[in-house]
Each structure stands twice: as structure tokens, then as C-alpha cells.
Chains A and B, each alone.
With several copies, the nearest count.
Chain A
Amino acid sequence: MSIPVLLFASYADAFGARRLDVPVGAPCRVDALVNALRSLPGGTRLPAAPLVAVNRVWAAPDAMIAAGDEVALIPPVAGG
């Protein structure tokens, strides 16, 4: 009863991992997942509205996450 979340860059540092099983059941809303993440060690370092991608596509806070979806927490991008 958890959702695996991919972590990158500063978020991976904050949570001390590149992948985290967040204790929340699918399906659930993106913002519900984010709230669950906040309560984990390192979660306080998340910004107000962290970006989330579901199946490699940007997902709004009210988007739904289904079981098996690839979920990633995306720090502020800094390419180029």
C-alpha cells in the first residue's frame, strides 16, 4: 500500500534516496502524494508547490495517480 516515487538532484539529496516508497494507496491525487512526502524525513525541504510528473508527463495537483504509474518528483529544472 505505497506508491514508488522517483527523486532527482536536490530532492534526492533532501530525502537521501533516488527512489522512495510513499505510504499512500493508489489511486490518489498528486497533491495527496505530495502531502505524504512532506511528512517523511527531508520532506520539510520541499517547496510550496513541487512539480510532479506522472508517466513522464507534467501532472497538475488534482491529477490522479493509478497503481503502476511512474511518478517522479521534479526539482526546479535547470537545463542548458
Chain B
Amino acid sequence: MHASAVLHIAVITSPIDVSALLATVAAPSAGATSLFVGTVREVNEGRAVTGIDYEAYQPMAESELRAIAEEACTTIPGLRVAVEHRVGTLLVGDVSVAIAASHAHRAPALDGARQIIEALKQRVPIWKQEHYVDGARAWVDPTSSVAAPTV
């Protein structure tokens, strides 16, 4: 069994290269890779979205992402992980987050990627302001059902 490894963690403004993430976690010992990709959707809670501004508390976002990845590598020995989150202004269809997790076997790889995206959504200090077709903007607040309009 290959050693667990957090191979790459980054919060970036440039486009995410999912192929590079897959290559990063590839290994002769890995028989399975699970890649989760989050993309900007054209609608959220019934409102047409044209784009999203992602903002991060950069240093803490990176340290939390690394902590989450390391926790996954601890609970899942042999897991190899690479995660990127993109910030700045993204358009519909742009990739906002990508998580690649590989392992000798499929169940740990699938569990690993899922564990990471769920933790990311809870703990990583990143926020998104949705831009709507009518020109309105609102910070998304998952803790309340309605996005808090700010414009």
C-alpha cells in the first residue's frame, strides 16, 4: 500500500486544470481515482446566475484545506490527494473546485473525495457572491435558505 500523501493544495485565481490534478495523484499503486469537480451553475434556488465572485480568507483557506486533506489521509491510509479551489470572478461552467483522491481500491478513493468536499463546504473560509441576470448580487449563506441580497 502506498503511503498517504497530501500532494497538492492551492487556492488560485487561474483556471483549474483537472487533468493536472489527476496526474498529480496518479501512481502505479493506485487502481482507483475519484475526482470531484464543482462548477458554476446557471441557476441557484430558482434565480438565474450569470457568474460568481469567490472570495477567500486566503491563508486560512489554504491551512483549512490542507488540514481537511490530511485528516482524510489519516482516516484513509494510502489515500493520495490533490485539491484546488479557484477564487475571483467565475462564469457559468467555470470550475470552482476540484478534488482528486486516488487509492489502491475504489471504495477508499470514492470515500476520500466525498469526505473532503463535505468538510470543505463546512470549514474552508471561502464565500461566493452570485451575480443574477437582473444585475442583483447576493452573498450565498448556506445557513439561511435565502441568499442575503446586498445590492
Contacts and interface: CB of A to CB of B under 8 A. Distances in A.
Contact of B128 (A47, A72, A74, A78): A78
B57 A78 contact: no
Interface string B112-143: 00000100111111111100000000011111
A6 B58 CA distance: 12
Contact of B141 (A8, A56, A78): A78
Given A77-B127, A78-B126, A6 B142 contact: no
A25 to B, nearest CB: 25
Contact of B55 (A8, A56, A58): A8
A53 interface: yes
A27 interface: no
A80 B139 contact: no
A23 interface: no
Contacts, number: 77
Contacts of A68: none
Contact-size category for B:
20 to 34
A80 B119 CA distance: 10
Most chain A C-beta atoms within 10 Å of own C-beta, residue among B54, B141, B144: B141
Interface of B: 38, 54-57, 59-61, 63, 85, 96-97, 106, 117, 120-129, 139-144, 148, 150
A10 interface: yes
B60 A77 contact: no
B141 A10 contact: yes
* Most chain B CB inside 10 Å of its own CB: which residue of A8, A13, A75, A80: A80
Given A53-B60, A78-B121, A79-B126, 17 more contacts: A8-B55, A9-B139, A10-B141, A10-B148, A53-B57, A58-B123, A76-B144, A77-B123, A77-B125, A79-B56, A79-B96, A79-B97, A79-B121, A80-B38, A80-B97, A80-B106, A80-B121
Given A10-B127, A79-B121, A56 B59 contact: yes
Nearest to B31: A80
A80 B117 contact: yes
Nearest to B55: A9
A49 B81 CA distance: 33
